[in-house]
Structure formats: structure tokens, C-alpha cells
Amino acid sequence: MVLLRFSRGSGLAGWIVRTATWSSFSHVGFKLEDGFVLDATPEHGVAIRMAEDDETTQYFQILAPTKYINDAISYARLQLGKPYDWTAIYGMAIRRDWWDDRSYFCSELCEAAFSHAHYPLVRDSKKFDRITPRDLLLSTRIKQIIPPDDDIVSEDPDIT
């Protein structure tokens, strides 16, 4: 099961995101079925990597039919190698176009993937100047679950 992985983040950028968005989280990415994380970070840009969980890491199930999740992950994989979107950090206080697909901030990557799959996680996201981890956290299309382990059984949510 693909999950959204929220974490506190570290360093100045993490503090800026948490402070500017009134959130306990500053980072979000996809936890893939193989245990790797697909996300956008300052160190790696859009990449698939191993990520260590800590006491602040929380997981959320995406309440979408499998087709939309698969389409979203396919889109996110097409973005591999693109750089991190630093303007998202600097632009927390100003208006900017988050739909520029030349680079990605973590939450922009997640929302863009689902928007391209025709199942946006954030209502009216095309009207927003920015998409933050907090915006995704407030989505009615996700729900918090226990931390993933080898015993979780993958199943589709009952959505019509």
C-alpha cells in the first residue's frame, strides 16, 4: 500500500515551513510498497530514497481507488531527477505559481501527482498560490494509520 509519510523535517528550512504554516510537519512524501520513499528534498531533489523514521513520523492512507494512486505514483516517478523548488521556501509569504513543473517542493509533488491523476487531495488546489504539507494534512482524502510494518495487509478503501 502506498502511503503519505509526514515528518517534522530538520534545519532552517523545516523550521520555516512549520512556522509559516502553523504545522507540526514540514515534509511529506510517498512511502512506496517496497519501503522506499519518493519525495522532493533539498539534498536530492525528486528522488527515491531510504528514509529513517523518527518519533515525529506519521503515516496516512490515501483514500482513493487504486487506479488514481497508481496514476499519481506514475506521474511522480516521471519527475525523478528534477530539482528541489527553493522558491517554495522563500515564497511562503508571497504569491507564487506552484504549478511550475520544472522543480518541486515536497507537498507540491504529492498534490501535482494526484491532480494529474484527476484525484486532487486538496480541494480547489488550482486556486492556491502554494501547497504545503499542512494543506495535505487537512485533506479529507487521507486518514492517519499506525506506522507501516510487514504485517499491514494492502486493500483498497471502500470508495465508489
Q: Is residue 7 part of a domain?
A: yes
Question: What pLDDT does residue 98 have?
Answer: 61
Q: Is residue 151 part of a domain?
A: no
Between the CA of residue 99 and those of 108, 139, 140, what are the distances in Å?
A: 8, 19, 22
Question: What pLDDT does residue 122 have?
Answer: 92
State the DSSP string of 29-91.
EEE-TTS-EEEEETTTEEEEE-----TT-EEEEE-S-HHHHHHHHHHHHHTTTPPB-HHHHHG
Question: What pLDDT does residue 154 have?
Answer: 44
Closest CA to 44 of 94, 79, 89, 5: 79
CATH number at residue 51: 3.90.1720.10
Instruction: Identify the domain containing residue 131 by its residue range.
Output: 3-145
Which residues of the chain fall short of a pLDDT of 50?
Answer: 150-155, 160
Residue with cell string 498534490: 111
Q: What is the pLDDT of residues 98-129, one digit of tens each?
A: 677 899 989 999 999 999 999 999 987 666 66
Question: What pLDDT does residue 96 have?
Answer: 60
The model carries a pTM of 0.85
Q: Is residue 58 part of a domain?
A: yes
Kindly give the pairing relationship between strand 3-7 and strand 58-62: antiparallel
Q: Is residue 159 part of a domain?
A: no
Question: What pLDDT does residue 89 have?
Answer: 67
